[in-house]
Amino acid sequence: MKKIKLFSKFALVAAAIFVGSPVAAQTYQLNANDYSYSGSTRIEGYISTNLIGSFTTQSEVENALSQTTFGFALFDGSTKLSEITSADSAWQLVLGVGAGVNLTITDTAFSLNFLTPIEYTEGRLLLQSADLLTVFQFSQMNNVTDNAGSGFGYNAVYSASHAANYGDTFTLNAASAVPEPGTYSMFVLGLLGLVAGRRKLK
């Protein structure tokens, strides 16, 4: 009986490790065809992280963002006008009075949205270069027009923006979502252990 219980406990731990902990960093991509832009400029980029979970307070979201690597670029046709990366910038999360934020990271998507229930309250996720010439942001404001959107500006001359519906989520989809073979093996071993343990108990 002790052996069966011990094996079942190992199986539960193995299954929990698979569900709760990614084995490697996942990359989420912002592709130009995900959004509509006016003119020839567009935004492309990526965020990489090894976190999986739901983060619902400003401190939790800021901590999760600090553990990401990223890169966003502004293009005009095939020409890259400017780029901002984790090597030269850091996330800034700005919340107005009464505003909230939710960040959800799964193996398929990286999604962030703002809650702005009070009029003229704004939420803003911002990246700026050290010289302040390059800015990338996703924002939402509760005002007369209730607007949201993402944008990339460079040198006060070049820009690309996407107008979103109020309450929309800023989402990057996973470039790939295939766990390593070792993770599959551990998960299968855990499930087999649970089945074997239950059969012996019967």
Q: Could you tell me the residue ranges of all domains in the chain? A: 1-23+179-202, 24-178
**In this predicted structure, what is the pLDDT of residue 181?**
47
**In this predicted structure, what is the pLDDT of residue 96?**
95
Higher pLDDT, 19 or 129: 129
Residue 24's pLDDT band (cuts 50, 70, 90)? confident
As a whole number of angstroms, the distance between CA 192 and CA 3 comes to 15
> Per residue in 123-132, pLDDT tens?
999 999 999 9
> Per residue in 51-107, pLDDT tens?
999 999 999 999 999 999 999 999 999 999 999 999 999 999 999 999 999 999 999
Higher pLDDT, 86 or 3: 86
> Per residue in 139-195, pLDDT tens?
999 998 899 999 999 999 999 999 989 999 999 999 964 444 444 444 444 444 444
> Per residue in 35-44, pLDDT tens?
778 789 999 9
Cβ-based neighbours of 46, under 8 Å, separated by 6 or more: 27, 28, 29, 30, 70, 71, 72, 172, 175
What's the number of CA atoms in the CB half-sphere (13 Å) around residue 74? Answer: 24
